[in-house]
């Protein structure tokens, strides 16, 4: 299909989407923030809450000469509770190696799925690259 170029106000957007369809996907997915399940009790009022953020990455093989592919990835980013705590631990020994137990929460992947991308390499061989695609993020206890 050959793209038609018109002089209308949306022609730049049309050209970008025709050349790089993943950018349009990122824009449409990023604008749908209500579907992200960041941290339910924080609500949608906090734009910096723990949530999924999308970005486009180019996958190339580090050794073999293969065609690269652009893929849509996601990461967890944002704030969790600002409350951290350190409680003293009780011991019945004179040596206390770890005198406190600290509690804090971090923005982490809650659910994800395994995805694969096949790269076509020189000589007709194909190599598969795998990665985890994050579906939802949550504030969970840091380790």
What's the Rg (C-alpha) of the chain? 23
For the chain, the structural domain boundaries read 51-89+100-141
pLDDT of 109 > 90? The answer is: yes
For residue 104, the model assigns a pLDDT of: 84
Output the pTM of the full model: 0.59
The topology (CATH level 3) of 51-89+100-141 is: 2.10.90
Average pLDDT over residues 21-35: 40
Rounded CA separation 112/115 (Å):
9
Q: H helices of 20-114, where? A: 21-30
Size of the chain, expressed as the number of residues it contains: 143
pLDDT (tens digit per residue) in 47-89 = 788 999 999 999 999 998 999 999 999 999 999 876 777 888 8
Residue 14 structure tokens: 């049309």
Residue among 143, 119, 113 at smallest CA distance from 131? 113
The pLDDT confidence band at residue 45, using thresholds 50, 70 and 90, is low
pLDDT given at position 44: 54
Could you tell me the CA-to-CA distances from 99 to 12, 59, 71, 87, 92 in Å, in that order?
A: 61, 46, 46, 9, 12
- Between 57 and 11, the more confident residue is 57
Q: Could you give the C-alpha distances from 124 to 1, 78, 121, 130, in angstroms and in order? A: 26, 43, 6, 20
| 123 pLDDT higher than 60 | yes
Mean pLDDT of the chain: 73
Is residue 23's pLDDT more than 60? no
CA distance 104 to 86: 9
């Amino acid at each position: 299909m050959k793209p038609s170029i018109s002089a209308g106000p949306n022609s730049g957007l049309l050209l970008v989407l025709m050349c790089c369809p993943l950018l349009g996907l990122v824009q449409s997915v990023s604008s749908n923030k209500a579907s992200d399940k960041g941290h339910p009790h924080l609500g949608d009022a906090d734009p910096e809450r723990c949530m999924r953020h999308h970005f486009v990455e180019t996958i190339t093989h580090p050794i073999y000469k293969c065609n690269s592919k652009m893929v849509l990835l996601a990461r967890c980013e944002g704030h969790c509770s600002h409350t951290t705590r350190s409680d003293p631990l009780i011991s019945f020994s004179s040596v206390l190696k770890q005198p406190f137990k600290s509690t804090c929460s971090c923005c982490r992947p809650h659910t994800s799925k395994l995805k694969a991308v096949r790269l076509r390499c020189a000589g007709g061989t194909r190599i598969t690259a795998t990665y985890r695609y994050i579906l939802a993020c949550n504030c969970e206890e840091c380790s």
